[in-house]
Structure 1
Amino acid sequence: MKIYKSIFLICSIFFLCEFKPGEVKKADKKPNIVYILVDQWRAQATGYAGDKNAHTPNLDRLAAQSVNVHNAVSGMPVCSPHRASLLTGQYPLTHGVFMNDVLLDTNKVTLGKVLTQNGYTTGIIGKWHVDGHGRRSYIPPTRQQGFEYWKVLECTHNYNHSEYYIGDSPERKVWDGYDVIAQADDASKYIKEKARQDKPFALIISMGAPHDPYQTAPEKYRKMYENKELILRDNIPADKRERAIETLRGYYSHIAAIDDNIGKLWQTLKDAGVEENTILVFSADHGDLLGSHGDWNKQQPYEESIRVPFLIHYPAVLGKTAQTSDLLLNTPDIMPTLLGMVGISIPNSVEGKDFSKVLKGESKNKVEETLISCVQPFGQWSRARGGKEYRGIVTQRYTYTRDLNGPWLLFDNEKDPFQLNNLVGKPEVKKIQADLDKRLNKVLRERNDQFRPGLEYVRQWNYVIDETETVPYNKINYEGKPIVE
């Protein structure tokens, strides 16, 4: 009997040494989420996507251990609409944020609220841009959409004097130096702290770069491109090439800086022992034309504007080998897909699709087209600059759009990757155009989108616009006083 007791005691000690209670809890808890959102980074501008100009060694290594959703699109390629759709899983005509600098309804069911209600510690660092009370204004907790850790400014692209607010304090602070570095350092501290706790955490790091101004990255990164010979895309007109080269030098400098800091964040996850059970995502709100088609910035339905990078790294479930997914992932699909990945029920308010089972290989992809749109042109693509309303679809092969006058653009992206040959009205694609038009009509019916002139929607949502049909930056502080910049 004493022998059996001794054996039992030895086994019990061995079990306790091998399986600590904290480790069991860590293994059982839901995965963490770290979502890196950058501003105006087009999908084509990475080494793993084949861009020889881009210095992105960390992202290239990450892609080699992740799922690359290479058909991810920004359904309305401009800042505030993307962020509102990311947070709500809804399309812009539902949540109402189809222009920059307007408020996302604080009663909305958002990613931050859902994760917090399901036991997550939540945080966001960097750019917000869905508050509509002025780009430098204080955002009180009642408008923070469920996020607990809060180091945020509505919007700035002054990367070397970048301001922010903490939590419920109306005191405006300034990030130390280039904000990408400071924000990544702060995010690393957050990850280290939360990794030691039992609760899962979800953190969004929302960086303003590589959005213009392009020539403001730290000198170390700008020197990398001072004398570098750049390869230009075939769709940049000859008279725009000189400007494009100068612009791209700065753009790629920001990208190199961000890549270094993505490497830092990834290493933090490894050092904290949580990489395996963390969903790490890298994506952007939209792209940048950068001279392609003779234009700059976003909103337009060209590949450089609508196509965004989307890497998802989740070793515990997706493994650590490079995979490429053909999913037509649209902005409203991101919230439900993340919730599906962590095992949280999708709220009824969500319109996007949960692709988590497709990513995990548990079901087949059945989505053959996805919606792209501009409800109301404004700002950098105002009507005076050629902006106009459009609706369109992207398929595995084609991009097709209509403006208010009828068919506008049709590109065969397989044969014409630089979208130089508009096929609208050409006899050889008559059946293809008719089919795409029919599919677009179907998507619009599903979305209850009547495709009316933009100003009708502006009046419907009571937005105040200026003479360029743009919502002005409401430059007031938290006390309602004008801000002098």
Structure 2
Amino acid sequence: MRTFTLFILSGLLGLNFSCKPKVTEQHTSENPSSPPNIVFVLADQWRAQSVGFLGNKDVITPNLDSLAKESTVFHNAVTVMAVCAPWRGSFISGQYPLTHGVFYNDKPFPTEATTIAKIYKEAGYETGYIGKWHLNGHERGEEPFSARNQPVPKERRQGFDYWKVREVTHNYNNSYYFDEENQKQFWEGYDAFSQTDSAISYINKNKDNPFLLVLSWGPPHDPYHTAPQAYRDMYEPSALSVRPNVPTEFQDSARNVLANYYAHCTALDHAIGDLLKAIDQAGIADNTIFVFTSEHGDMIMSKGMLKKQRPWDESIKVPLLIRYPEKLGKGTNVYDPINTPDLLPTLLGLSDLAIPGSIEGKDFSSKLMAGDELGNEAALIMLPVPFHEWKFLNGGREYRGVRTKKYTYVRDLLGPWLLYDNEKDPYQMHNLVDMPQFSQLKNHLDGLLNEKLKATNDEFLPADEYMKKWNYLYDRNDSIRDENYLQINR
């Protein structure tokens, strides 16, 4: 029987790809054991406010709620950039978006990067990926979104060998993928269920050997109304509560969105239950690390907005659980913030693997194993280039900020923009940034942000500068802006 298995449900991190990884001192354990398996399950656009174990009384997530009682629960898991491809680039590489270069959806992640699969493969692991990829991208001058329906070349799979992948789709009930030989295959029914069945098969076939498996679901990303009917029937919109920061005129719309969004969440919770049961039946549950998280959240009409990229908690905070009884115990809570680039080095630390020098995130494995807080005051949040649904004409703006255990502070190109005391104002309805009595706090948080920017070599330039540096073109009319766009809704 295998001794350890590592299971993770999440969304992705970033890398330095120009040099050979530099090996740092490895973790050692008193009782050396078999290498842990890694099963990484990624949900897309599942916000932290929409799970039962973090206090939501409307959403039905019994499997996650039970899992939380056995896990380390992260109350402030913060996505470095609240949008799909940048998060994924930062997860697989452990780098920040302006290092690996994917700070805009559908731009190509560097082929030569050092990634999670390459690292574990070099350590003797089998590697597999199932579901949504969103890191191949299209080259300069190609039609926007053209790569979403095309196979990913073998050399662009970043070290993953077992391959059942679609670059991007949000048609969850008529979904296809490409296999290892780039042959088109179809998922039967609701694709998350079929993808989970495939993951279970992979686990059963590889349970006696160390493996890394990423299972990447598309839901609960919109379209919201496409969950299986049985799960939609579980929710009556009029019975659902909305967050107090949803304007009155949007509350009925928010309830209708929530009913369908929760239906996806409950369907995925069912899949999680199937996956956990399969791991138990495979005989590897006792020493399994199980992590659940997502790429980013969804505003769902908070502040009158939908979807992501915004600096508010509904967009930047994600659920994160890590269950690893062998080293972490059970039922613990972590309140210090953890950021996307920190996930990969922390996993490597828990796996007793050396951490390449290209990785910019922090390894918190020792803190977790000791049962301590992380000692991390702030997580970085950013939007170097607004695009798509939050492009300039829709109010998007460049920003950098920090999310601490208690505060959110954000600057745009004009200077300090947002300051919230999230303990006293959990719905972020009172911006303190221009109040003189909070100037000392603002200066402290601004100093923290400056430290983060210096550490990541981020000069906080206008969006056009980054597009030029990486030789990217804006998609369609993303670049169009009013000359006074920064002052809009200021």
TM-score by length of 2: 0.89
Q: Which residue number in structure 2 is paired with residue 121 of structure 1?
A: 126
Q: Deviations over 1:10-43 (max 9, x none)?
A: xxxxxxxxxxxx6789993111111111000001
- CA 1:59 to 1:119, structure 2 compared with 1: closer, same or farther past 3 Å? same
Matches within 5 A, 1:201-220: 201-220=211-230
- CA 1:160 to 1:24, structure 2 compared with 1: closer, same or farther past 3 Å? closer
Q: Which amino acid aligns with 2:118?
A: K
Q: Find the residue that maps to 1:44 and give its secondary structure.
A: helix
Q: Which amino acid aligns with 2:241?
A: I
Q: Which residue number in structure 2 is paired with residue 408 of structure 1?
A: 417
Q: Find the residue that maps to 1:360 and give its secondary structure.
A: helix
TM-score by length of 1: 0.90
Q: Find the residue that maps to 2:195 and give its secondary structure.
A: helix
Distance in 2 (alpha carbons) for counterparts of 1:299 and 1:71: 17
Query: How far off its partner does 1:354 sit?
Result: 0.4
Q: Find the residue that maps to 1:242 and give its secondary structure.
A: helix
Whether 1:189 aligns to 2:201 is yes
Q: Which residue number in structure 2 is paired with residue 12 of structure 1?
A: none
- Structure 1 segments of 4+ aligned residues over 6 angstroms from their partners: 22-27
Whether 1:158 aligns to 2:161 is no
Whether 1:380 aligns to 2:389 is yes
Distance in 2 (alpha carbons) for counterparts of 1:431 and 1:262: 45
Q: Find the residue that maps to 1:411 and give its secondary structure.
A: strand
Q: Which residue number in structure 1 is paired with residue 464 of structure 2?
A: 455
Distance in 1 (alpha carbons) for counterparts of 2:263 and 2:386: 29
The number of aligned residues is 446
Whether 1:288 aligns to 2:298 is yes
Give the unaligned 5+ runs of structure 1: 1-21, 472-485
Q: Which amino acid aligns with 1:205?
A: L
Return 405-414 or 133-142, whichever deviates more: 133-142
Whether 1:268 aligns to 2:273 is no
Aligned-pair Cα RMSD in Å: 1.6
Matches within 5 A, 1:466-485: 466-469=475-478
Q: Which amino acid aligns with 2:71?
A: S
Return 251-260 or 228-237, whichever deviates more: 228-237
Question: Sequence identity, in percent?
Answer: 48
Is 1:383–1:468's contact at 8 Å kept on the other side of the alignment? no
Q: Which amino acid aligns with 1:154?
A: E
Is 1:125–1:187's contact at 8 Å kept on the other side of the alignment? yes
Q: Deviations over 1:87-128 (max 9, x none)?
A: 000000000000000111010000010000001111111000
Whether 1:46 aligns to 2:51 is yes
Distance in 2 (alpha carbons) for counterparts of 1:24 and 1:128: 30
Whether 1:170 aligns to 2:174 is no
Distance in 2 (alpha carbons) for counterparts of 1:415 and 1:362: 27
Q: Deviations over 1:286-312 (max 9, x none)?
A: 000000011000000000000000000
Distance in 2 (alpha carbons) for counterparts of 1:158 and 1:444: 38
Q: Find the residue that maps to 1:388 and give its secondary structure.
A: coil
Query: How far off its partner does 1:365 sit?
Result: 2.7
Q: Which amino acid aligns with 1:37?
A: L
Distance in 1 (alpha carbons) for counterparts of 2:184 and 2:2: 40
Is 2:45–2:296's contact at 8 Å kept on the other side of the alignment? yes
Whether 1:397 aligns to 2:409 is no
Query: How far off its partner does 1:202 sit?
Result: 1.4
- CA 1:364 to 1:43, structure 2 compared with 1: closer, same or farther past 3 Å? closer
Query: How far off its partner does 1:171 sit?
Result: 2.0
Q: Find the residue that maps to 1:80 and give its secondary structure.
A: helix
Query: How far off its partner does 1:363 sit?
Result: 6.3
Distance in 2 (alpha carbons) for counterparts of 1:161 and 1:30: 38
Query: How far off its partner does 1:461 sit?
Result: 0.4
Is 2:4–2:284's contact at 8 Å kept on the other side of the alignment? no
Counterpart pick for 1:139 among 135, 152, 163: 152
Q: Which amino acid aligns with 2:123?
A: N
Counterpart pick for 2:434 among 425, 438, 456: 425
Q: Which amino acid aligns with 1:248?
A: L
Distance in 1 (alpha carbons) for counterparts of 2:96 and 2:324: 27
Is 2:4–2:37's contact at 8 Å kept on the other side of the alignment? no
Q: Which residue number in structure 2 is paired with residue 368 of structure 1?
A: 377
Query: How far off its partner does 1:442 sit?
Result: 1.5
Q: Which amino acid aligns with 2:94?
A: G
Is 1:275–1:315's contact at 8 Å kept on the other side of the alignment? no
Whether 1:345 aligns to 2:358 is no
Q: Find the residue that maps to 1:135 and give its secondary structure.
A: helix
Q: Find the residue that maps to 1:138 and give its secondary structure.
A: coil
Q: Deviations over 1:40-74 (max 9, x none)?
A: 00011011111011100000000010001111100
Q: Which amino acid aligns with 1:326?
A: Y
Give the unaligned 5+ runs of structure 2: 6-31, 139-146, 481-490
Q: Which amino acid aligns with 1:354?
A: D
Counterpart pick for 1:435 among 438, 441, 444: 444
Distance in 1 (alpha carbons) for counterparts of 2:115 and 2:254: 38
Q: Which amino acid aligns with 1:155?
A: V
Q: Which residue number in structure 1 is paired with residue 27 of structure 2?
A: none
Q: Find the residue that maps to 2:49 and give its secondary structure.
A: coil
Whether 1:79 aligns to 2:84 is yes
